[in-house]
């Protein structure tokens, strides 16, 4: 199979009606914080046990088409010796990998950040492919204030995202492009919409310059929402503002838009996605690529105890099913309390 056909096959496997992505690519410090909340020490074995629990959840492939993994997880095995990427693939879930190396301060731009990890990316991708990864993800973050993000941050992060995407496609790996407009702060929803449009315009200009094939990539944006310190917004408002920003900036050639949850509660993330999918026919499939919004309830059920594995898996399957319904515009708030 040639590279273009391989990329197309991966895109088709990921972009399926009623299915989304499970983001299980938390870095060491992030997963340590989540484990701390449930009284579990973060070490290689506890992380292996948790991610094995997630990927072995019965019926997960009915609602999840792909999983984003951390590089540690690619080399880990389930209790029966099955490599964790193979555990996902067994359920028809495509394994993917987070490839950025995290963010740091952007020199010359106070308050701004840039993501690193391009050095040696092509060689790393070759290794990840051998371990079963078929798609990748790179996250860039944009801080919001009256003045941020500035032109330098917009251009630098867009350039890096586009370079990453081009390298991925040359390696036969589908890139997920994740420009996150952060919710931190007291900015208004209107300011978030303004920044989101500016970010997406810049990103797609850069993707065009780098000759990235839009049909063979996916977008993972944040939703248009007010800053955390500015209150909340109704799902209908989030949906209207987000879809308007997407229509103004995202070419119809992009096959799927998989939203990040970005600090929303599990219920908010599901309700907002559902509201978007009730707006009528759109040029792209709108879906989810949630981390904490999918993992929060199973983590609380698990608490690091082997006796709680089944209960935690039921919680994950239930949350995934609700988001699958939201992809179709069929989610009902009353189903939150429905038993698995």
Q: Which residues are catalytic?
A: 178, 220
Which of 83, 64, 70, 78 shows the shortest CA–CA distance to 21?
64
Give the contacts of 13 (CB within 8 A, at least 6 positions apart): 65, 66, 92, 94, 134
The percent helix, strand, coil of the chain (3-state, each to 5) is 50, 15, 35
Does residue 318 contact residue 340 with C-beta atoms inside 8 Å? Answer: yes
Does residue 304 contact residue 39 with C-beta atoms inside 8 Å? Answer: yes
- The CB density around residue 58, as the number of other CB atoms within 10 Å, is 11
Q: Is 219 helix (H, G, I), strand (E, B) or coil?
A: strand
Does residue 201 contact residue 180 with C-beta atoms inside 8 Å? Answer: no
Does residue 233 contact residue 26 with C-beta atoms inside 8 Å? Answer: no
DSSP E strands in the chain: the ranges are 20-24, 64-69, 94-98, 103-105, 113-115, 135-142, 174-181, 218-219, 256-259, 285-290
- Rounded-to-integer distance, Cα 156 and Cα 135, Å: 23
Distance of CA 96 to the CA centre of its chain: 11
Which of 98, 94, 38 shows the shortest CA–CA distance to 72?
98
Does residue 136 contact residue 128 with C-beta atoms inside 8 Å? Answer: yes
- The CB density around residue 132, as the number of other CB atoms within 10 Å, is 18
| Token output for 162 | 């586009």
């Amino acid at each position: 199979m040639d590279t273009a056909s391989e990329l197309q096959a991966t895109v088709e496997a990921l972009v399926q009606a009623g299915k989304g992505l499970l983001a299980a690519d938390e870095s060491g410090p992030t997963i340590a914080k989540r484990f701390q909340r449930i009284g579990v020490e973060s070490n290689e074995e506890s992380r292996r046990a948790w991610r094995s629990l997630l990927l072995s959840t019965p019926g997960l492939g009915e609602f999840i088409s792909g999983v984003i993994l951390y590089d540690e997880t690619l080399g880990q095995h389930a209790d029966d010796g099955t490599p964790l990427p193979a555990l996902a693939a067994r359920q028809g879930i495509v394994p993917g990998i987070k490839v950025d190396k995290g963010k740091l301060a952007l020199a010359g731009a106070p308050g701004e950040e840039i993501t690193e990890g391009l050095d040696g990316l092509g060689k790393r991708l070759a290794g990840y492919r051998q371990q079963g990864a078929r798609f990748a993800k790179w996250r860039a973050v944009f801080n919001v204030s009256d003045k941020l993000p500035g032109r330098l941050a917009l251009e630098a992060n867009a350039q890096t995202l586009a370079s990453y995407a081009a390298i991925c496609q040359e390696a036969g790996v589908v890139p997920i492009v994740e420009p996150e407009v952060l919710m931190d702060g007291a900015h208004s929803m209107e300011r978030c919409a303004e920044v989101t449009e500016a970010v997406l315009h810049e990103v797609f200009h850069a993707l065009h310059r780098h000759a990235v094939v839009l049909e063979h990539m996916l977008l993972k944006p944040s939703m248009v929402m007010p800053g955390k310190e500015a209150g909340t917004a109704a799902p209908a408002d989030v949906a209207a503002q987000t879809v308007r920003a997407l229509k103004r900036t995202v070419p119809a050639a992009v096959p799927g838009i998989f939203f990040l949850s970005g600090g929303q509660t599990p219920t908010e993330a599901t309700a907002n996605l559902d509201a978007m999918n009730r707006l009528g026919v759109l040029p792209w499939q709108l879906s989810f690529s949630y981390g904490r919004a999918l993992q929060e309830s199973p983590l609380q059920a698990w608490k690091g105890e082997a006796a709680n594995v089944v209960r935690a898996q039921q919680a994950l399957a239930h949350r995934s099913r609700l988001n699958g319904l939201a992809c179709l515009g069929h989610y009902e708030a009353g189903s939150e309390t429905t038993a698995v």
